[in-house]
Amino acid sequence: MLVDWPLEQLRDYLPTRTEPEDFDAFWAGTLAEARTTQTPARFEPYDAGLATVRVYDVTLPGFAGQPVRGWFLVPRHATGPLPCVVEYLGYGRGRGLPHEWLNWSAAGYAHLVMDTRGQGSAGSMVGDTADPDPAGGPQTPGFMTRGIADPQTYYYRRVFTDAVRAVDAARSHPLVDPDRVVVAGVSQGGGIAIAVSGLAEGLAGVMPDVPFLCHHRRATEITDAQPYGELVTYLKTHRHRVEQVFATLSYFDGVNLAARADAPALYSVALMDAVCPPSTVFAAFNHHAGAAKEISVWPYNGHEGGAAFQQQVQLRWLRDLLGDAAPAS
């Protein structure tokens, strides 16, 4: 069933943003500190048994220079420079195996898949990146409340920093055109992509698909689904920390980050999605600062969204945005 307002109301939903005065300074300082690490990203050839794609096992310096794993795939005979899609992952998923990521390289793009620190053991795609920054203090099982007492220690400070550094890593590769880098992701990955679009300069585009991590307070009020349910459980227990928690989350809210994003955008939303309710997605989309923005609406879908149909929309949108990928030699 529909889980939120009618579509006509959603299209006009522009909630008042709540953000701290030091929002920009917080992120500028965080990213400047991360970029003091001089360790270059490593791209090591990897035999994935694939005939048409070259695969590299990536290790890039993330938050505090900590190693973050990934895959980098390019069409085997491409000479570059290629447009590149940097992709972030859904909640609980890891980078998996290279043959699970053939869509973008098959279309002629370079493709960097970033592992998500601490995740990748939820019964689907395996991960390879540790999170060596436990903040201490109580947390609800999962990642949403890890270090949530303070924005400096909050888990997504590290994840969003890793994600910006993944764009830096992609731009450093000789096969990538640094002016044609697009960020993308589904669910948590979509929320991360929105964050990067508000934090990284010069992106060619952003494709958040049924994004998570947007408009947290409303999400906790209208859905019982996980992972927003982790926040509800934490606040049910720590009754005295409600405002403290939402003050921390305001630094990481996709609504505030989208308001700083000027890259062309293709969002998607599903109107029967109880995991990432439509009003939370439209809140970010409607605040997205770039004038060139579109949203695909899937009226009879839940959190699976448009799935392969949305991928088809993305392929055509990106071709129109960037032109054909560089031909193979």
What's the pLDDT tens digit per position in 201-216?
Answer: 999 999 999 999 999 9
Q: Partners of 297 in the beta sheet?
A: 269
Residue 147: give its domain's CATH number.
3.40.50.1820
Q: Is-contact 117 162, C-beta < 8 A?
A: yes
The mean of the pLDDT values for the chain is 96
**Which residue type sits at 219?**
A
List of residues 6+ apart from 251 with CB closer than 8 A: 19, 20, 23, 26, 27, 151, 154, 157
Closest CA to 88 of 249, 226, 197: 197
Where does the pLDDT of residue 124 fall: very low under 50, low under 70, confident under 90, or very high at 90 and above?
Answer: confident
Alpha-carbon gap, residue 69 to 314, rounded angstroms: 25
What's the pLDDT tens digit per position in 40-61?
Answer: 999 999 999 999 999 999 999 9
In the sheet with 205-209, reading across from the earlier edge strand, the strands are 42-45, 53-61, 67-75, 110-114, 82-88, 176-186, 205-209, 265-270, 293-298
Q: Is-contact 55 45, C-beta < 8 A?
A: yes
For the annotated catalytic residues, the residue numbers are: 187, 273, 303
In-domain check, residue 329: no
pLDDT at 198 over 60: yes
Instruction: Check residue 80 and give its pLDDT.
Output: 78
In-domain check, residue 326: no
In-domain check, residue 75: yes
- As given in the structure block, the two tokens for residue 206 are 């952003």
In-domain check, residue 324: no
Instruction: Check residue 105 and give its pLDDT.
Output: 98
Instruction: Check residue 134 and give its pLDDT.
Output: 67
Q: Partners of 56 in the beta sheet?
A: 45, 72
In-domain check, residue 1: no
In-domain check, residue 112: yes
In-domain check, residue 328: no
Global model pTM greater than 0.75? yes
Determine the structural domain holding residue 244 and report its residue range.
Answer: 7-319
- DSSP-derived 3-state class of residue 201: coil
In-domain check, residue 327: no
Q: Is-contact 110 84, C-beta < 8 A?
A: yes
Query: What average pLDDT does range 232-240 have in this prediction?
Result: 97
Q: How many domains are there within the chain? A: 1
Query: What average pLDDT does range 114-132 have in this prediction?
Result: 94
